[in-house]
Amino acid sequence: MEGYPLEASTKALALERPGSFDPVEAIKHGFLHFKREKFDKFPEFYEELAKGQNPK
């Protein structure tokens, strides 16, 4: 799996709203992109990843 290209996301947001940048919207957009394009498409990877975690 490839990493998430944050620069592409911020550029896309800048094109949607020329002259303004809302960091909260950037985070929300990034989260939704990750969920749709990574998490929902590869659930078995994230299930395995979650099994390997050991919170303290």
pLDDT single digits (tens) 1-56: 455 566 666 666 666 656 688 999 999 999 999 999 999 999 999 999 899 888 88
- Predicted pLDDT of residue 1: 46
Q: pTM here?
A: 0.54
- Predicted pLDDT of residue 14: 61
Give the list of residues 6+ apart from residue 25 with CB closer than 8 angstroms, or none. 13
Our measurement of the distance from residue 56's CA atom to the centroid of its chain's CA atoms, rounded to an integer in Å, reads 26
